[in-house]
């Protein structure tokens, strides 16, 4: 980013950086959780998948609430996870 000249732009840059870090953290948590459940599904661990599914839904919903992902993206993730071979 460029150099900030006024007090207002300096503050805006600080806020932007904090938001960026927070959003990245939340997005990483979401992606990790989805990878976990997909890995368990591929390994054929039915019990593990059934345990992880509600946790993953919760992470997806929290990401949606925080504005990390959009409504349709959350719905798509949930739909695809529900269709996993060992989640039914």
Closest CA to 32 of 14, 11, 55: 55
Residue 49, classified by CB atoms within 10 Å of its CB into exposed (0-12), middle (13-18) or buried (19+), is buried
pTM of the model: 0.83
CATH superfamily of 7-82: Ribosomal protein S20 (1.20.58.110)
pLDDT at 3 (0 to 100):
72
Domain positions in the chain = 7-82
Each residue's pLDDT tens digit, 32-57: 999 999 999 999 999 999 999 999 99
pLDDT at 65 (0 to 100):
96
On the question of pLDDT at 88 being above 60, the answer is: no
Quote the mean pLDDT of the chain: 92
């Amino acid at each position: 980013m460029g150099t900030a000249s006024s007090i207002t732009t300096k503050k805006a840059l600080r806020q932007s950086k904090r938001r960026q870090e927070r959003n990245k953290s939340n997005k990483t948590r979401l992606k990790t959780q989805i990878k976990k459940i997909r890995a368990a599904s591929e390994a054929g661990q039915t019990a593990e998948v059934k345990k992880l599914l509600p946790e993953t839904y919760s992470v997806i919903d929290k990401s949606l609430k925080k504005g990390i992902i959009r409504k349709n993206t959350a719905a798509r993730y949930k739909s695809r996870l529900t269709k996993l071979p060992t989640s039914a």
